[in-house]
Chain A
Amino acid sequence: MSKEAPERVVDDPNVAMQNSPEFDQLRSKFRRFVFPLTALFLAWYFLYVLLSVFAKDFMGTRVLGNITWGLILGLLQFVSTFTITMVYARWADRVFDPEAEALAQKMGVQQ
Chain B
Amino acid sequence: MSALLTSAPSLVPAATTVGNPAINIGIFALFVVVTLAIVIRASRNNRSAAEYYAGGRAFTGRQNGIAIAGDYLSAASFLGIAGAIAINGYDGFLYSIGFLVAWLVALLLVAELLRNVGKYTMADVLSFRLRQRPVRIAAAISTLVVSFFYLLAQMAGAGGLVALLLGIEGAVGQRLVIVVVGILMIFYVIFGGMKGTTWVQIIKAVLLIIGAAIMTFWVLAKFGLSLSNLLGEATATSQEAGGKDLLQPGLQYKNPVDFISLSMALVLGTAGLPHVLMRFYTVPTSREARRSVVWAIWLIGIFYIFTLILGFGAADLVGAAAIKAAPGGVNSAAPLLAFELGGEILLGIISAVAFATILAVVAGLTITASASLSHDIYNTVVKKGTATPEEEVKVARIAALVLGAIAIIGGIFALGQNIAFLVALAFAIAASANLPTILYSLFWKRFNTRGALWSIYGGLISAITLIIFSPVVSGKPIDPLTKKSPSMLQGVDFHWFPLDNPGIISIPLGFVLGYIGTVTSREYNAAKYAEMEVRSLTGHGAETATHH
Binding site for B on A (CB under 8 A): 1, 3-4, 8-9, 12, 14-15, 17-18, 23, 26-27, 30-31, 34, 37-38, 41-42, 45-46, 48-50, 52-54, 56, 59-60, 62, 64-68, 70-71, 74-75, 77-78, 81-82, 84-86, 88-89, 92-93, 97, 100-101, 103-104, 107-108
Q: In the complex, which residues of chain A have a beta carbon less than 8 angstroms from the beta carbon of B263?
A: 45-46, 49
Task: Tell me the minimal C-beta distance from B352 to chain A in angstroms.
Answer: 28
- B241 at interface, CB cutoff 8 A: no
* Complex CA distance for A74 and B91, rounded to whole angstroms: 11
Contact of A104 among B131, B527, B538 (CB under 8 A): B538
Task: Tell me the minimal C-beta distance from A52 to chain B in angstroms.
Answer: 5
Task: Tell me the minimal C-beta distance from B499 to chain A in angstroms.
Answer: 13
- B493 at interface, CB cutoff 8 A: no
Given contacts A56-B250, A81-B297, A85-B297, contact A23 B534 (CB under 8 A): yes
A26 touches B540 (CB 8 A): no
A18 touches B534 (CB 8 A): yes
A81 touches B104 (CB 8 A): yes
B527 touches A15 (CB 8 A): yes
Which of B107, B528, B529 has the largest count of A CB atoms less than 10 A from its CB? B107
B231 touches A89 (CB 8 A): no
Binary contact readout B104-124 vs A (1 if CB under 8 angstroms, 0 otherwise)? 110111001000000000000
Count chain B residues whose beta carbon lies closer than 8 angstroms to a beta carbon of A.
61
B247 touches A27 (CB 8 A): no
* Complex CA distance for A85 and B109, rounded to whole angstroms: 12
**For residue A62, which residue of chain B has the nearest CB?**
B247
Q: A14-B535, A78-B100, A81-B297 are in contact. List 18 more A-B contacts (CB 8 A).
A: A1-B528, A8-B527, A15-B530, A23-B538, A27-B533, A38-B104, A45-B97, A45-B267, A49-B260, A52-B249, A53-B249, A53-B253, A60-B247, A66-B247, A78-B301, A81-B100, A89-B294, A92-B290
B530 touches A18 (CB 8 A): yes
- The 6 A-B pairs at the shortest CB distance, nearest first, are namely A65-B228, A14-B530, A66-B231, A53-B256, A104-B538, A18-B530
* Complex CA distance for A59 and B247, rounded to whole angstroms: 9
* Complex CA distance for A52 and B249, rounded to whole angstroms: 6
Given contacts A9-B527, A41-B104, A52-B94, contact A60 B245 (CB under 8 A): yes
* Complex CA distance for A4 and B100, rounded to whole angstroms: 43
A42 touches B259 (CB 8 A): no
A-B contact pairs, 26 of them (CB 8 A): A15-B526, A15-B530, A17-B530, A17-B538, A26-B537, A26-B538, A31-B443, A38-B109, A45-B101, A53-B256, A56-B248, A56-B250, A60-B90, A62-B247, A66-B232, A68-B247, A70-B249, A71-B247, A75-B305, A77-B97, A82-B301, A85-B103, A85-B294, A88-B107, A100-B539, A107-B540
